[in-house]
């Protein structure tokens, strides 16, 4: 008989990622990440599995962080990024038939971004951001040994830090090329005002295209990104004429005729927008939107606690340059699509109750590797075979099966609620494993962050854990979520706490009407924007018996100037945070704190740069002065906004324990 899932099972989940199929389609290399509970650390290595079936095996070893594997064009080598020289990270190359990995770069401490093999396999283009000398680990250690203080940071730019990344001040990613045989490295771009990303080689290996915002003040004009081309040996860069706007994931076609990228042509109003797939000649001037009919996000928008948010923007050319393959988020799932380079034959290749978080194509195109996740199982590596416009898939790994064989997993039940304006709101219910339809259960409404993201068809350890403790767990995608069209997502742009609040109250009404739900024992919780909505809800209704607000937005006026992305005036939000703060304050939950009567648990991290810790400080101080029932759990500096997904393992477990204790106290 299976047992109930527990907090400690979080440590047993194997986190797979980045499945890379060999050029000849014979096998798949992927990232295998695990938690060492005793050492309280994450480690990752490369594993491989035959495409035609067989046991998955380790390919690299050691307590490192090996990531971002990429096959050489001839399939004889695999390049990857590793921190084996910690605190330095380097690009390594290992023979595909096994052997010793060797570093091909000799970089100072810093951050390696994206990289790409040259078509002949002799060079690798990559982006890299150097850590300023005074902030490298050795310099900090020497100051500490001498009893010296750390120096001040002199900040001159609006964008100088990033949650989970820390303060990089003036350092930016630049483009480099390294010779794989000799290790000779050449920096191709150096201007400190700008940064470069998404390098891609021309098929003849003579040029590298990349994306960059080279406006006079890129921090204050962030979404005017252009395509650029420069000689692979270095030299003058050339702008490729394309529509202004944000751009991602640049890819040169194998026949050299086109560059493809994802983006939208709205530099002054870019978010939330459905990014489309564009095609342009390397000479520029003929950019074409290949997917004007697409009314959903290209990319991975689903939230879960068994991988980092998002899976990047997978985009692949077929070997003959006639097709482009990509992923689309819709109705809680993520599915592979393809389209011909002339814009015809727009095809969805898979449908079902799952998400594809990443995928790659073999050179022959008829074989692919996929990262496949389900509501009842964490992600595994799958093989795909394309026959015409039909993609047949089967699992290659079952590395989480030992845990799934041991614990009882609940299958979510999908529901739909009609809002007052007739729009359907999709959601899912998790019932306790020993569910009795004749009983009434305490019920918790979970609200996702973003706000422009989605809950959906993936495994969520926290939700399964909560249901196992005897709660009905409901999660849903109100207005603002991705997956239901651009208008659905944009319905709350600059107007939180209005349409989204009403959608969530319709869902709460639906839950209260269910015969197995105890309407007097309902809770509400969420993180980030979900924390904002939790704050807003308890300030506008007393229908919930308890609430938890996690890494939340409390005061839009203060957050607009303290977040890692300082607010641009009159863009997403009306006004600004210095002399036109009225709209921001009106939509801040803090403005309504005196209305809060619901017992509230506040969870926040001192290292959170997205929603700074001052947000939680303000809410807690206000509620204490108001005499409310409130507890504040403040996690230390080594945590960030992503504590629940990628924070220190022991603190992730501690957070779950405190959640369950709060629910037991007020709903149990």
Joined tokens for residue 444: 């918790």
Respond yes or no on whether the N-terminal peptide bond of residue 321 is cis (omega within 30° of 0): no
Annotation says 641 is catalytic: yes
**Choice among 528, 552, 588, 605 that is catalytic:** 528
The dihedral sign for the CA sequence 419, 479, 326, 314: negative
Task: Judge contact between 81 and 60, C-beta under 8 A.
Answer: no
Q: Which of 17, 15, 6, 5 is nearest to 36 (CA)?
A: 15
Residue tagged 């073999």 (tokens):
362
Helical spans, DSSP H, in 104-152 = 137-145
**Choice among 65, 641, 644, 646 that is catalytic:** 641
Q: Which of 404, 374, 399 is nearest to 9 (CA)?
A: 404
Q: Which of 573, 529, 525, 536 is nearest to 552 (CA)?
A: 529
Strands 441-447 and 472-477: parallel
What angle, rounded to 10 degrees, do the helices at 461-468 and 649-667 form?
40
CA atoms within 13 A on the CB side of 66: 27
528-532 CB contacts, 8 Å cutoff, 24+ apart: 528/449, 528/450, 528/552, 528/553, 528/610, 528/611, 528/641, 529/447, 529/448, 529/449, 529/450, 529/451, 529/480, 529/496, 529/553, 530/446, 530/447, 530/448, 530/449, 531/449, 531/611, 532/496, 532/497, 532/589
Helix, coil or strand: residue 166? strand
Residue 137: Cβ within 10 Å count? 12
Q: CA 332 to CA 114: how far, in whole Å? A: 28
Residue tagged 């009882």 (tokens):
408
Q: CA 464 to CA 15: how far, in whole Å? A: 17
Vertex 303: Cα angle to 301 and 307 (nearest 5): 105
Joined tokens for residue 637: 């500096």
Vertex 325: Cα angle to 323 and 331 (nearest 5): 140
Helical spans, DSSP H, in 566-628 = 582-586, 613-625
Annotation says 614 is catalytic: no
Q: Which residues are the active-site residues? A: 528, 641
């Amino acid at each position: 008989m299976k047992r109930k899932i527990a907090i400690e099972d979080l440590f047993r989940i194997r986190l797979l990622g980045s499945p890379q199929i060999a050029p000849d389609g014979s096998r798949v290399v992927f990232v295998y990440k695990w938690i060492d509970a005793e050492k309280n650390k994450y480690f990752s290595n490369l594993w491989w599995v035959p495409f035609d079936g067989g046991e998955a095996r380790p390919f690299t070893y050691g307590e490192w962080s090996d990531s971002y594997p990429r096959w050489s064009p001839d399939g004889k080598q695999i390049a990857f990024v590793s921190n084996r020289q910690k605190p330095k990270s380097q690009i390594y190359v290992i023979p595909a038939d096994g052997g010793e990995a060797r570093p091909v770069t000799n970089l100072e401490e810093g951050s390696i971004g994206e990289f790409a093999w040259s078509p002949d396999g002799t060079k690798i283009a990559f982006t890299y951001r150097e850590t300023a000398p005074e902030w490298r680990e050795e310099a900090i250690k020497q100051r500490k040994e001498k009893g010296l203080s750390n120096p001040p940071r002199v900040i001159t730019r609006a964008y100088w830090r990033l949650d989970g990344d820390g303060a990089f001040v003036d350092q930016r990613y630049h483009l480099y090329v390294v010779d794989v045989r000799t290790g000779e490295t050449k920096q191709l771009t150096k201007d400190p005002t700008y940064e470069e990303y998404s390098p891609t080689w021309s098929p003849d290996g003579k040029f590298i295209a990349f994306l960059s915002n080279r406006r006079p003040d890129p921090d204050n004009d962030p979404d005017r990104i252009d395509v650029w081309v420069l000689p692979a040996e270095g030299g003058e860069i050339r702008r490729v004429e394309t529509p202004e706007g944000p751009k991602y994931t640049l890819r040169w076609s194998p026949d050299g005729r086109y560059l493809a990228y994802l983006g939208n042509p709205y530099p002054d109003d870019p978010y939330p927008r459905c990014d489309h797939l564009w095609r342009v000649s390397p000479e520029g001037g003929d950019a074409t939107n290949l997917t004007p009919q697409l009314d959903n996000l290209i990319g991975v928008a689903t939230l879960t606690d068994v991988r980092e948010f998002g899976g990047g923007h997978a985009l692949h050319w077929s070997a003959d340059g006639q097709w482009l393959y990509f992923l689309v988020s819709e109705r809680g799932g993520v599915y592979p699509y393809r389209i011909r380079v002339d814009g015809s034959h727009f095809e969805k290749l898979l449908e079902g109750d799952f998400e594809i978080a990443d995928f790659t194509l073999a050179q022959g195109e008829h074989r692919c590797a996929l990262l496949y996740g389900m509501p009842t199982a964490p992600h595994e590596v799958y093989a795909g075979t394309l026959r015409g416009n039909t993609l047949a898939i089967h699992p290659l790994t079952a590395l989480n099966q030992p845990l799934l064989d041991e614990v009882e997993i609940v299958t979510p039940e999908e529901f739909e609620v009609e809002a007052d304006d007739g729009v359907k709101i999709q959601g899912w219910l998790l019932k306790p494993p020993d569910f009795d339809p004749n009983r009434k259960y305490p019920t918790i409404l979970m609200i996702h962050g973003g706000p422009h993201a989605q809950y959906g068809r993936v495994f969520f350890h926290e939700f399964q854990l909560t249901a196992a403790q005897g709660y009905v767990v409901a999660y849903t995608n109100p207005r603002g979520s991705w997956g239901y069209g651009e208008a659905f997502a944009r319905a709350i742009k600059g107007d939180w706490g209005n349409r989204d609040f009403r959608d969530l109250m319709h869902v709460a009404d639906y839950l209260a009407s269910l015969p197995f739900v105890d309407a007097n024992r309902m809770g509400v919780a969420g993180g980030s924007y979900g924390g904002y909505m939790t704050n807003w809800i308890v300030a506008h209704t007393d229908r919930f018996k308890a609430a938890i607000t996690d890494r939340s937005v409390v005061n839009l006026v203060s957050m607009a100037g303290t977040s890692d992305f300082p607010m641009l005036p009159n863009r997403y939000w009306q006004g600004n945070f210095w002399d036109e703060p009225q709209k921001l304050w009106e939509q801040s939950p803090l403005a309504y704190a005196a209305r809060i009567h619901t017992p509230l648990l506040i969870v926040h991290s001192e290292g959170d740069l997205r929603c700074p810790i001052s947000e939680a400080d303000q809410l807690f101080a206000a509620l204490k002065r108001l005499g409310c029932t409130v507890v504040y759990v403040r996690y230390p500096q080594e945590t960030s906004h992503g504590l629940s997904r990628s924070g220190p393992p022991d603190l992730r477990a501690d957070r779950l324990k405190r959640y369950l204790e709060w629910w037991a106290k007020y709903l149990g």
